[in-house]
Amino acid sequence: MSEGRTGKRRKFDPAHYPALREFLPAYLHQDFREEYDAAAEAVRGFVKEATGDEIVLVKEEWKMFRADFRGRSLREIQGALGALGSAWLPASEDELRQVDEILLDAQA
């Protein structure tokens, strides 16, 4: 989470991520592997189906989420994703980077 002037990390609050709270349970739900096979494919599905505004909002919030959790453990990231409604529990930083790349390349 982002550090303030005091050097303390900001407490995670799912309310700061309304677009991710919509996107994650819609695409990375408990059955996403049956529908998309992998998280990267689910994110590609979102990019293909979403409006430009939806893509922009999710990209912005995903960047903020990743910055807020830079240097945190995979377990903490998994917990935060769960709190945002995701059933996806990334098994590695590589899985997270795949999502980073897809959203970075997404055209709004």
% of the chain exceeding 70 in pLDDT: 92
pTM: 0.88
**Residue 25, CB-side half-sphere exposure with 13 Å CA sphere:** 11
Beta partners for 9?
3
Q: Is residue 8 pLDDT above 80, yes or no?
A: no
**Per-residue tokens: 1:** 């989470």
